[in-house]
Amino acid sequence: MTAVESLQVDCSNGEGVWKAIAHASHHRWDRRGTPGASYERADGGVTLVVRLQGCFASLCPVLNGGRVFSPPPARGTKVVFIGDFDSNVGMLSTHLRDRTVDWGDLYNDMRSCLPDSDAAPAADPKFQPPGTPPRRYVGMEGLQAFLDDERLLLFAVNQHQAAPPAPHAKLLSLPLGLAEEADAHALWRVYRRFTRAAAAAADAADGDARPPPPPLPPRRALLAINNSGWQHRAAVNARVNATFGGTLINSYGSERPYWEILMESKFVLAPSGMGYDTFRLWEALAHGAVPIIDACPGFSRTYAGLPVLTVADWGDVTPALLQEVWHEFAVERTHEWDYRRLTERYWLELLADAAATGSVDAITAQHPLRTELRGAAAAA
């Protein structure tokens, strides 16, 4: 599977979201001109893939005043939600002091989600046995109950997630990837050369006689700082530079091509910006460098299986640590890295397979909830 079709709904109207899901569960929309938007599972149920649009600033409309899964979908229905996307903030993001721009506080937003006075639970007795208190699905408690509901299979969002509810097996942040603007064309060219080099090495091992691409340049620099120093990034740059004795120079805005800096560096500092996920993180990976970021419980599982150095404190980024990690990542653990995860196809197949099987077990296996932290602060 290389594509995921979806039912696109306006989530500013929460009632309309759940009516559309209930209708689609009873009337298979792949027969109505939306192929691939529903998945027939081996257990006889169906998974619906629903793209939310128009509500990335608030989840309150989706909780619909407590009327979640009302009217109820057909029995055996599971839902994959794909959140409304913005490159800087996600549907489950919240402000993290000295880490992100203050786009808003998810917890305050959830406290403002008031229940309808006549909000009723779903009619399915499996989810509302007679005599039990009704599920209200409002506030943070309601959000947690929504995530735990068996009818929700997966909620795919972007950017970092508030913790709690993250980390959660049903929450997965999709990566920003590489930028698509015109000034990224040079990066794409080098990225293709890098992937061709990896493919040529694999072909050579299989006896393919194709000529190899041009050799990659040697990585002379241990660490590159190449960011604007905007807001909290300035403090991060200064903290790391101090551990290097003030010898590092921020190459942002220099005349040297960005891709050239990435290709010659072993590590690239990738502090958060407006959000935790940054293009720099994926640009570094695409060019064979190791990005360094600080831990975020609701985002770290996104880059599992890729050589990313995650630290608990920026003061832990020292020459000694980087030398140790480079040998580990570039020599001892090279077989662990799955560079398919830099491709759109990998993520589309990940979502499609979860929808087809009705399970997130494979996602959890490939993107575990725990993150390996390095440095003195992590060991404390």
Residues 199 and 120 in one domain: no
Residues 164 and 271 in one domain: no
Note the pTM of the prediction, 2 decimals. 0.82
Among 128, 157, 174, residue at a domain's last position: 174
pLDDT at residue 317, rounded to an integer: 97
Q: What are phi and psi of 11, to 5 degrees?
A: -85, 5
Residues 212 and 165 in one domain: no
Residue 36 lies in a domain: yes
Element of type H or E holding 46: strand 46-53
Residue 2 lies in a domain: no
Residues contacting residue 297 through CB under 8 Å, at least 6 positions apart: 161, 163, 166, 167, 371
* Strands 221-224 vs 265-269: parallel, antiparallel or unpaired: parallel
Residues 163 and 187 in one domain: no
Element of type H or E holding 283: helix 279-286
Residues 161 and 189 in one domain: no
Residues 84 and 188 in one domain: no
Residues 169 and 188 in one domain: no
Residues 212 and 347 in one domain: yes
Residues 237 and 349 in one domain: yes
Residues 213 and 164 in one domain: no
Domain at 250, CATH number: 3.40.50
Range of the domain at 350: 182-354+368-379
Interhelix angle 279-286/185-205, rounded to 10 degrees, is 40
pLDDT at residue 121, rounded to an integer: 45
Residue 268 lies in a domain: yes
Residue 1 lies in a domain: no
Distances (CA, A) of 307 to 216, 228, 288, 312, 324: 18, 24, 9, 16, 14
Residues 102 and 196 in one domain: no
pLDDT at residue 241, rounded to an integer: 97
Residues 170 and 316 in one domain: no
Question: How are strands ordered across the β-sheet holding 221-224?
Answer: 221-224, 265-269, 290-294, 309-311
Residue 361 lies in a domain: no
Q: 117: burial class by Cβ within 10 Å (0-12, 13-18, 19+)?
A: exposed
Number of domains present in the structure of the chain: 2
Mean pLDDT for each 10-residue chunk of the chain (380 residues)?
68 87 77 61 91 78 82 92 82 76 76 60 46 58 88 91 85 84 53 58 54 64 94 94 96 90 95 89 91 88 93 95 94 89 88 93 92 65
Residue 72 lies in a domain: yes
Q: Which two tokens stand for residue 69?
A: 């899964």
